[in-house]
Amino acid sequence: MTDVRLLVQRFDPFKDEEPRLVEYKVPKREGMTVLDAILYARDYVDHSIALRFSCRQASCGSCGMKINGRPRLACYTQVDELAGEKVVAQPMENFAIIRDLVTDLGSFFEKHAEVVPQLVRSDLQEQEHPTSEYVMKPEELTRVLQFTYCIKCGLCTSSCPTVATDSEFPGPQALAQAYRYTADVRDEGGDGRIAILDTPHGIWRCHFAGSCSYVCPKGVDPALGIQLLKRHVMSGHAPRKAGEGSPTAKAGIPAHGPGSGSSSGG
């Protein structure tokens, strides 16, 4: 059995002046992920290694880190797929380090919340006393589907050069979600989102570096979402009127039956 040379960046802001790389030897096994290797080091060599993880299946988004220089999910990266003799695990860029591999995602989630990432509608009566589903056609779902796959891991934001230089920029994750809901035919909140984003530190600060889309582990293309959002603003797109994308009864579409299933909103 060969060993993996695992180097983990260690840093405790309350004790350390500078981050440092510490090497651990980890017995390699077939199919071993970088998360497996770090957990081995934590469990058998040094219990004080701090990292964040949960699902171990690329679903929860908590194990984002920089691995051999590139933002990746540790649970979704096999040791064997990495080039070179070493595995180097470091915290994500563009976020403050809490300890070791754990970063502070507070501002990331605040920016996500600021773009109102949910369906906004004025038919409160229907929401309180639903008579039917809010439906969308398959082609309307296709327009936003890839953006619903976002697991909020932060990898795209950690790779963004604009985030690195402008702390007020919402970042690719939040902007892609702003597009995801604004482009949803059932939503009426586009005007409110655009008012927040059509600002000096908003969508126009994106210079289309494209690194966000390059590193996304879920096939989301945040750079595309941002450009589509820009087009939405430039075209003076009329906001949807209340009632469009309305419940099936109002749209004259059968509420039940083949193809009538509604999306949960992603």
Nearer to ligand FES (CB atom), residue 10 or residue 56:
56
Residue 73 DSSP SS3: strand
The separation between CA 40 and the C-alpha centre of its own chain, rounded to angstroms, equals 27
Shortest CB 70 distance to ligand SF4, Å:
12
Whole-number Å distance between alpha carbons of 62 and 73 = 8
Nearer to ligand FES (CB atom), residue 61 or residue 190:
61
Q: What are phi and psi of 99, to 5 degrees?
A: -170, 140
Sequence-distant (≥ 6) Cβ neighbours of residue 81 within 8 angstroms:
none
242 binds, among ligand SF4, ligand FES, none (CB under 5 to 8 A by kind): none
Nearer to ligand FES (CB atom), residue 151 or residue 183:
151
Site for ligand FES in 28-57 (CB under 6 A): 53-56
**Kind and range of the H or E run holding 214:** helix 211-215
List interacting residues with ligand SF4 (CB under 6 A).
150-156, 173, 176, 216, 218, 220, 222
The separation between CA 98 and the C-alpha centre of its own chain, rounded to angstroms, equals 20
Kindly state the DSSP code that residue 4 receives in the 8-state scheme: E
Shortest CB 238 distance to ligand FES, Å:
39
Shortest CB 180 distance to ligand FES, Å:
20
Q: Is 158 near ligand FES (CB under 6 A)?
A: no
Shortest CB 93 distance to ligand SF4, Å:
13
Angle, helices 172-182 vs 106-114, to 10°: value is 20
- Given the rule CB under 6 A, which residues bind ligand FES? 53-56, 58-63, 73, 75
